[in-house]
Amino acid sequence: MSKVLFLTAYPIEDASCRYRVHHFVKYLQQAGYDCTISSFATPTLFRALRNGGRRVIKAQQTLYCAFRRLFRLGTLSKFDLVVIHREAFPFFAPLVESWVIRLNSKVIFSFDDAIYHGHEDVSALNHPFLYRIKHGSGYDKVIRKSQHIIVGNRILAQYAGQFNPNISIIPTAVDCDQFWCKPLATNDGPITIGWVGSQSTVSYLKLLEPVLQEIARRNPGRVRFRVYGCPDCNLQVPDCQSLPFRLDREAEDVRSIDIGLMPLPDTDWTRGKCAFKAIQYMASGIPTVASPVGMTTELIQHNFNGLLANSPAEWLCELERLISDVGLRRRIAANARQTIEQHYSLQVWGPEFVSLITELTRSDHLLANRSVAAHGRGI
């Protein structure tokens, strides 16, 4: 039985680790693999990092987690394959990652954001100062020295291809059994316009605040607004609730939305994103309005399975169309669900992930350009 170790920065509460590691591990275990997921942060540290203050707890937990990670590195030779998802240690890349590569000859590096660019404007993105040393060009060395690279979209693949030709594109997929399609929209009751995200991305939503204010003014009593994942968000919009992320009710909270929002500024960082908010909405049969940035333009075909909006005027127009036209909402929702089932579902990509891991554990040869040959399902 082949043994595979996944090194992640955060536990299952982190969306990236949940959808790009934990979901795939279920398929690997069913295929007979012995899988171990080793996160740097404990759930306690993860929660503390997403709240202000609590410096003593953060310091104590970080020290404990650092020693725990060092202990784990001493066991690397026991595994047939090591997958580093984003980073093996939260800061100072590529120091620990390079150590991992020296200790085990079969290392896969997986990432789903433009971590090689880093967060240029930390304050605007609600990230702490330490994010200035969290991401950056140090990952180029990790990409170059890893046996294989897994990325979430073509933009990330193009960057990684400068340093390593052995790349697989595997999108961030959603379990279509968990995110089942909600009943088709009607005009009964207020329409819920919603957003799902986190503290680090809520600044994108705030860019839409004037548009949402105008939507509320034009549709009194017909619309309400819900924000999931950032309870501190204080949008100055009528009938707006900001609610915490709940792991056990994630899919249910998404389904409470009638129109999904995914605004993004056009930056080096956002162009590398995997459009997962839109994928969740679309899997749930929720018509989505999104910014035409990065992978979004591959995922969404305007006026077919979603709507694209760039300027405030376009956002206002597309939201008004969805609010007033229940037939449009139904048509887009049905096409969106079909898109996810065919191209972005865990049911499609789980077996593909197992196939890739099987080839890598059985072969000493690199799998050059595998993304084009085997992993090009409509992405």
**Distance (Å, rounded) from C-alpha 20 to C-alpha 196?**
18
Q: Which residues, at least 6 apart from 306, have a Cβ–Cβ distance to it below 8 Å?
A: 278, 282, 287, 288, 289, 290, 299, 300, 332, 336
**Distance (Å, rounded) from C-alpha 83 to C-alpha 17?**
12
**Distance (Å, rounded) from C-alpha 300 to C-alpha 296?**
6
CA distances, 271 to each of 46, 138, 162 (Å): 26, 19, 17
Q: Residue 246's CB: how many other CB atoms inside 10 A?
A: 11
CA distances, 40 to each of 28, 61, 67 (Å): 22, 10, 10
What does the pLDDT read at residue 183? 81
Going residue by residue through the chain, which has 379 residues, state the pLDDT in tens, using 9 for 90 and above.
Answer: 899 999 999 999 999 999 999 999 999 999 999 999 999 999 999 888 877 667 888 899 999 999 999 999 999 999 999 999 999 988 777 889 999 999 998 999 999 999 988 655 444 444 455 555 566 678 999 999 999 999 999 999 999 999 999 999 999 999 999 999 988 766 677 999 999 998 889 999 999 999 999 999 999 999 999 999 999 898 999 999 999 999 999 999 999 999 999 999 999 999 999 999 999 999 999 999 999 999 999 999 999 999 999 999 999 999 999 999 999 999 999 999 999 999 999 999 999 999 999 999 886 544 444 443 344 443 3
Alpha helices in 18-104 (DSSP H): 23-30, 43-49, 55-73, 95-103
Domain limits, the chain: 3-173+346-373, 191-343
- Domain 191-343 in the same topology as domain 3-173+346-373: yes
Looking at the chain, how many residues does it have?
Answer: 379
Distance of CA 6 to the CA centre of its chain: 17
What does the pLDDT read at residue 58? 86
Helices 346-362 and 326-343, interaxial angle, to 10°? 20
**Distance (Å, rounded) from C-alpha 344 to C-alpha 171?**
7
Residue that the structure tokens 């991305």 belong to: 201
Fold designation for 3-173+346-373: Rossmann fold (3.40.50)
CATH of 191-343, one of 3.40.50.2000, 3.20.20.10, 3.40.50.970, 3.40.50.12280: 3.40.50.2000
User: Of 192, 116, 169, nearest to 374 (Cα)?
Assistant: 169
CA angle 269, 273, 278 (to 5 degrees): 140
Distance of CA 133 to the CA centre of its chain: 21
What does the pLDDT read at residue 260? 98
**Distance (Å, rounded) from C-alpha 239 to C-alpha 235?**
10
Alpha helices in 115-153 (DSSP H): 139-145
What does the pLDDT read at residue 54? 76
